Structure 1
Amino acid sequence: MSLPGLKDEPLRSNMRPGGAFIQGPNVAVEGDGSIASFPSSPPGGAMIKINVSHGSSLHEVQLPAQSTFRDVKKLLMPRTGLDPQEQQLFFRGKEKDDEEHLHIEGVKDKSKILLLVDANSGEKKHEEIRQEEIKNEEEISKGSEAVAGVRAEVDKLSQRVIATKMAVDGGHKVSEQEFLVLTELLMRQLLKLDGIEAEGEAKMQRKAEVSRVQNYVDTLDSLKARNANPFESVSVTTEWATFDSEEENVNASSSSTSTKVTQDWVQFD
């Protein structure tokens, strides 16, 4: 149901094959790629066309008379490639603020507006880029410091892992508690590394430290298994030695029997 005096006016926009957007009178493309739409003219209002001069170019823009100069900038952005903050709009020789309304400032159908590029916009962009680079460097520095802190703790634990390995290799029995404590401490360092936000070089450092800690955990698992069966390898060696001894006895017995038979044949002859 329509209100008296209010006509339904569809949103006018076009799409080229492949999804390319063509600006309509009531729509514009935001800086982030999103589409902004302006309301149709209210009862008693009107759509106006204004001419915007930009260098040697002249852009015709259609929008509601009650729109703001910010709305004009949004419509000009896809045509000029300038972000709204880079644009300066002048009407009757005066720069207009973004929040000022066209109809209040006297802009009418076929009025002419001058568009200039803000001279400070380049410096502003450069400053924004510089600040972003500083922020990234600070984040990388924080990440590297955090990884370095974990690395120092892992260095201490690595000495205990080495000492444990030497003990097991030497045939000494190591307490089960030592393996449990060392493994737990190393897993805590892995959790710390997982919680570090890192980019760039710091991210590579974190990855290398994670691999290092995991190797120590694997080493402890292997040592723990050997520590539980310290005489396993000795037992195997003894069994092979016994087998070799029995084989030598069999060979000796066979040799003796062969000699005896030979002697018997000699006596028979």
Structure 2
Amino acid sequence: MLGAKSRNLGTVPATKRGGATTGGGGREVGMAAWDLRPCGMLVQKRNSDVNQSQTVVPTIKVKVKYGSSYHEVHIKSQATFGELKKMLAGPSGLNPLDQKLVYRDKERDSNAYLDVAGVKDGSRMVLFIDIRNQEKRHLENLNTTQTDKANKQLTEISSEVDKLVKQVGNLEIEIYGGKKVVEKVFLNLIELLMSQLIKLDGIVADGDVKLQRRMQVKRVQKYIEFLDMLKIQNSKIASKSNEGNVRAPLQRLNKISFE
């Protein structure tokens, strides 16, 4: 009997009561302080586990010298030098692509991180103008502007030439229909086409735009040559008495090749 009683004297299993756990000693421990492991064992959480996901990236203040001016910037310690350049664009007036940041006598890449480079609160660095990159960017912008301008001019000239071509086509129908045309009409059309050639000659372009300009020049020249041929044909028309022998228009204009 005594042995049986001794076996019953042990640690009292923990029981739940009112949303809390009651131990053998009558103490209540909140369930929020316990964690259930995959094996089914209930263990108490450590304080480091609770606060592990609450890491805050600190904000630091860096001082940047540009010329004779100093700029203080507040930025996250884990930001990149590229992000710092964007923040300096306003006070410095420099495009981020034209900036060169030097920290500890070394130029820093835009993709490098501040904390990795050793930048801390109160660190100082110097900002310079990247002259080479600035000139390269300005040249690219200039080329883009010239290309856009050339494209616009080519579009306008092509539209004007299309209008003149319609007039040439109507002239062809009249002449090969036996109708004599006043010579001044030829001279006016040729003069208008020549003016388009002068405009094309003034376009400065490279690459595809240059090729398009050359094609437009050949196109206009072909129409001028065709007008000269029509003028010769027109001179052969003696009088309106020949209108009885009207021939169908040859429609040579549509067969002109500009290759």
Which one scores higher on RCO, CA 8 angstroms, separation ≥ 6? 2
TM range (shorter): 0.3 to 0.5
TM-score with structure 1 setting the length: 0.42
